[in-house]
Amino acid sequence: MPSSTPYRWLALLMALLNNACTPQEEVGTPVLHWYVFDERSGAFQQAAQNCSEQSGGRYRLKLTPLPSDADQQREQLVRRLAARDRDIDLIGMDVIWTAEFAEAGWILPWAETRTTRATSGMLPAAITSATYRKRIWALPFTSNAQLLWYRKDRIGSPPKTWDALLDMAENIGVPGALQVQGQRYEGLTVFFVSLLASVGGSVLSPDGLGVSLAQQPTREVLALLKRIAASPAADPGLTGSREDQGRLAFETGTPVFMINYSYVWPSARLNAPDVAAQMAWARWPAVSKNRPSRVTIGGINLAVGAYSRHPELAFEAITCLTSSDNQILAAQLGGLPPTRQALYHNPAVRKRFPMADTLLETLQNAVQRPQTPVYNDISLAISHTLHPLAEIDPETDTLRLRKAVERALHSEGLF
């Protein structure tokens, strides 16, 4: 209608004015939203900026921070993805989410032509953590694994086995000399899975469809967990102990041993330099003298959201983010171990991680937590059955644990 003509001209004028006020590089540039935990050092933000610039205007990465707690991260993502949220382009996934997110159709698989070069030189265990049903669903970005931390001014050399560690800790005669994770949460599952793998056992069958938990290794691990909890060297607050409680306790100077991740090193240097001066590290203790320890792998993998408006650009952005330069950045600023093996020999990474050789050796022999779409239920079944550690009965709880995991695997019952 003729009377609408002035409004059309006004709309055109406003559009021109808006474009004039917008930086040229942002006009028509797709914005890729990267949902990832709230990384406080700025390493992820800098990596996003680097890749945005390197894209030559093809895309711009924007971080959408998730909570620091992994359970809360998963909860927010599951709700959004179940609602087919198109705002999610890139996802920073905990390594244990791969099977669940892939099975639900929430992430896109990677073509072999893309991954062959992108994963070259990466830790095999990290690649396995991003694999489900023989397909790669994400690129490993950061990694992690626990080490044994100890006071070198109080013991001559680190114990090689858990029995030796407990003997040493008990001879010191100080409650809380040993710091481990005993609260009913994911950390307790990690502790159990690592011990079980160290005696050659596993929670599930190799195909992930059935329960393993062979009687002899499971009973052996449960007996060890009970001994740890009953030890006079255990922390009196073991039932509520997580990684951070262990870190804070160690920084007081009382504990002599601690099972924890590498972030405890820069924390002690900052908060307790006298303690840090006496800190040393070693591989996780073995359960048996005849078999080396195996520790569960952690870290963040980057996946493309299934409902992204720009999936091809998202694949391109993830390839950039997981490059060596950005992994070095995450290591230097954020203290996040890389997934590329060669970087453990990089001077900048080794300066940040003086324990790089021990960490790399641990990661090269790392084990996966059960790779199944119902992992969350299985983890809850394990932690609920084993908590509190002091009340474990190795005989009866071996059977109880197997039944609980079977129910979780078949989605029977709530935990």
Confidence of residue 123 (pLDDT cuts 50, 70, 90): very high
The one-letter code for the residue type at 9 is W
Q: Are 257 and 146 in contact (CB under 8 A)?
A: no
- Rounded CA-CA distance 40/68 in Å is 10
Q: What is the pLDDT of residue 413?
A: 63
Q: Nearest 5°: phi and psi at 31?
A: -100, 120
pLDDT at 19 over 60: no
DSSP string for residues in 240-263: G--HHHHHHHHHTT--SEEEE-TT
Residues 6+ apart with CB under 8 A from 212: 201, 202, 203, 204, 205
Domain boundaries, given as residue ranges, for the chain:
29-144+297-364, 147-295+374-409
Confidence of residue 411 (pLDDT cuts 50, 70, 90): confident
Q: How far apart are CA 157 and CA 168, in angstroms?
A: 11
**DSSP strand pairing (139-144 vs 298-304):** antiparallel
Is residue 6 predicted with pLDDT exceeding 70? no
CA angle 97, 327, 317 (to 5 degrees): 70
367 beta partners = 296
- Residue 46: CB atoms within 10 Å: 15
Q: Where is 303: in which H helix or E strand?
A: strand 298-304
* Contact partners, residue 207, CB within 8 Å, separation at least 6: none
Q: How many helices (H) and strands (E) does the chain have?
A: 18, 11
Residue with tokens 């020999």: 345
CATH code given to domain 29-144+297-364: 3.40.190.10
CA dist., res. 319 & res. 276, Å (int): 37
Alpha helices in 120-278 (DSSP H): 124-129, 162-172, 186-198, 215-230, 243-251, 264-271, 273-276
Q: Is the pLDDT of residue 184 over 90?
A: yes
Which of the 8 DSSP states describes residue 149? Answer: E
At 262-312, the pLDDT tens digits run 999 999 999 999 999 999 999 999 999 899 999 999 999 999 999 999 999
H/E stretch holding 406 reads helix 394-409
Query: CB of 151 within 8 A of CB of 249?
Result: no
Query: What pLDDT was estimated at residue 415?
Result: 52
The structure tokens 């990677």 sit at 110
Q: Tokens 């790669």 belong to which residue?
A: 136
Average pLDDT over residues 60-71: 95
| pLDDT band at 29; cut points 50, 70, 90 | very high
Residue 54 has pLDDT above 60, yes or no: yes
Q: Could you tell me the two tokens for 302?
A: 């980057």
Beta bridge partner(s), residue 179: 258
Contact 334, 43 (CB under 8 A): yes
The answer to whether the 29-144+297-364 and 147-295+374-409 domains have the same CATH topology is yes
**CB distance 224 to 199 below 8 Å:** no
Residue 4 in this model has a pLDDT that exceeds 80: no
**H/E element holding 363?**
helix 356-364
Cα distance between residue 302 and residue 317, in whole Å: 10
Look up residue 43 and give its two tokens: 């390493």
Question: pLDDT by residue (tens digit) across 340-386?
Answer: 999 999 999 999 999 999 999 999 999 999 999 999 999 999 999 99
Residue 412's pLDDT band (boundaries 50, 70, 90)? confident
> How much of the chain exceeds pLDDT 90, in percent?
91
Q: Is the pLDDT of residue 79 over 70?
A: yes
**What angle is formed at CA 92 by the lines to CA 341 and CA 373, rounded to 5 degrees?**
95
Helix (H) or strand (E) holding 5: helix 5-21
233 pLDDT higher than 50: yes
- Can you name the CATH fold of 147-295+374-409? D-Maltodextrin-Binding Protein; domain 2 (3.40.190)
Q: Which residues contact 244 (CB under 8 A, 6 or more apart)?
A: none
Dihedral Cα 385, 219, 187, 401, nearest 10 deg: -30
CA distance 237 to 232: 12
Q: pLDDT tens digit string along 80-112? A: 999 999 999 999 999 999 999 999 999 999 999
The sign of the dihedral angle between the CA atoms of 366, 120, 355, 182 is: negative
